[in-house]
Amino acid sequence: MNSNPDAIIIGAGIVGATTALSLTNAGMKVLVIDRGNVATGTTSAGEGNILVSDKAPGPELDLALRSRDAWFEIQEDIGGGFELEAKGGLVVARSEDGLRSLRTLTAAQRIAGIDAQDISITELRALEPHLSHSITDGAFYPQDAQCQPMLAAAHILRATKARGGKFVSGANVTAITTNDGAVTGVVTSQGTFNAPVIVNATGTWAGQIAQLAGSALPIAPRRGFILVSAPTRKIIFHKVYDAEYVANVSSGDADLQSSAVVEGTQSGTILIGASRERVGFQDGIDFEILRILARQAIALFPILADIQLLRAYRGFRPYAPDHLPVIGEDPIFKGFWHNAGHEGAGIGLAPASAQLICDGIFDRPSFMNPTPFAPARFAKAAAS
């Protein structure tokens, strides 16, 4: 009798966990492995954003829209426990230019199916009474949501295990075995595991895993810092950010970009993200960046000046050169699937990305055309 799994998923972050659940629900026997434990990489270093507001029309927005609903389906499926909340997003403009580009964006987003509401100053104040008086315009996105990402990954993995999946932590992958152009298994510090399907869900480290098989993925870290306040009374009710943030997310510049994203959480803390810079896996805390984030947050909400900062942490977003996630089969090795490179949107995009992978593995049509995310696009770019 063959006790091998049908699929091995490398990486127990949010992308690996949702992939494991999708494949399990589709009838496969999965094994999830991680060099650390559940949610020890980028999943534990974010705010838990499930956003549609920060995306311009295009394939990533289609993915985000489907994924946003898929999050609520997962909650239904496994029973929640991860603080999923449709708290709504508020994007504000602080200049004439900012307002013009925001109105252009919301118009395009509405055509793409997003509920993007241009709102008046009165509505703005009703939604966020403590907003700076220098802000006069904004847009409201009721679909924007949030979850607690570590709990989400842990609960999804728990449900996967309850449905027959297996998880091995502390398993560092040292080799990926192939035979005749197809993957056959992984060699890890916890033993060798064989399966005809291997999913690379290692986020920022996905390039290194691809290399082990003899393939390649151009995924690099893009560092970000987040500030966390002491618990406080509820003063911020939505996810609030500057319209400039949308431009920063899609910037290809390696230098520091920063625009504050401010929100209150269920635990009473206020989170302030997010800086973006490509400095490799640089450790430590850059206090200048913390200062910039604090300034930008106060510019949005002057009341924050008196709120205490309790913690700061950093993470590394998995960054692909064209800002699109990498979802699909490896161009060289059959059975080797990549689901990585979601940059700062991995929590939001994970469930729909998992669905694409699942439909790809079963070779059936999916909710959208996955070609824009195909790993093969980099090989083509290099060739041309």
Contact residues for other proteins, defined by CB under 8 A: 12, 37-40, 44, 150-151, 154-155, 157-158, 167, 169, 227, 229-231, 267, 272, 284-285, 287-288, 290-291, 294-295, 297-298, 304-313
Using the minimum distance from each CB to other proteins, give the nearer residue, 71 or 82. 82
Q: Which is nearer to other proteins, 92 or 270 (CB)?
A: 270
According to DSSP, residue 348 is labeled H
Specify the residue, 157 or 354, whose C-beta has the smaller distance to other proteins: 157
Query: Closest distance between other proteins and the C-beta of residue 185, in Å?
Result: 23
Residue 263 has φ and ψ, to the nearest 5°, of -160, 150
Which of 99, 228 has the CB closer to other proteins?
228
Nearer to other proteins, 167 or 193 (CB): 167
Tokens of 274: 């997010």
Q: Which of 274, 375, 275, 271 is nearest to 332 (CA)?
A: 375
Of the two residues 81 and 331, which places its CB atom closer to other proteins in the complex?
81
Shortest CB 295 distance to other proteins, Å: 4
Contact 338, 217 (CB under 8 A): yes
- For the bound state, the minimum distance from the C-beta of residue 66 to other proteins, rounded and expressed in Å, comes to 27
Matching residue, tokens 């027959």: 164
Smallest gap, in angstroms, from Cβ of residue 334 to other proteins?
31
**Of 26 and 168, which CB lies nearer to other proteins in the complex structure?**
168
Could you give the residue ranges of the DSSP H alpha helices within 165-286? 206-213, 244-249
Residue 137 contacts residue 92 (beta carbons within 8 Å)? yes
Strands 270-276 and 182-188: unpaired
Instruction: Tell me the closest approach of the beta carbon of residue 263 to other proteins, in angstroms.
Output: 14
In degrees, rounded to 5, the angle at the alpha carbon of residue 151 between the alpha carbons of residues 128 and 43 is: 85
**Comparison of 49 and 229: residue with beta carbon closer to other proteins:** 229
What crossing angle do the helices spanning 59-78 and 149-162 adopt, rounded to 10°?
60
- Residue 163 CA to residue 160 CA, distance in Å, equals 5
Taking residue 172's Cβ as centre, other Cβ atoms within 10 Å add up to 12
Q: Closest approach of Cβ 310 to other proteins, in Å?
A: 5
**d(C-alpha 115, C-alpha 112), whole Å:** 9
Q: How far is CA 237 from the centre of its chain?
A: 22
Residue 347 burial by Cβ neighbours in a 10 Å radius (0-12, 13-18, 19+): buried
CB of 267 to other proteins, least distance (A): 6
Under the phi-then-psi rule, with left for phi > 0, alpha for psi from -120 to 50, and beta for the rest, what region is 89?
beta
The nearest distance, CB 182 to other proteins, in angstroms, is 31
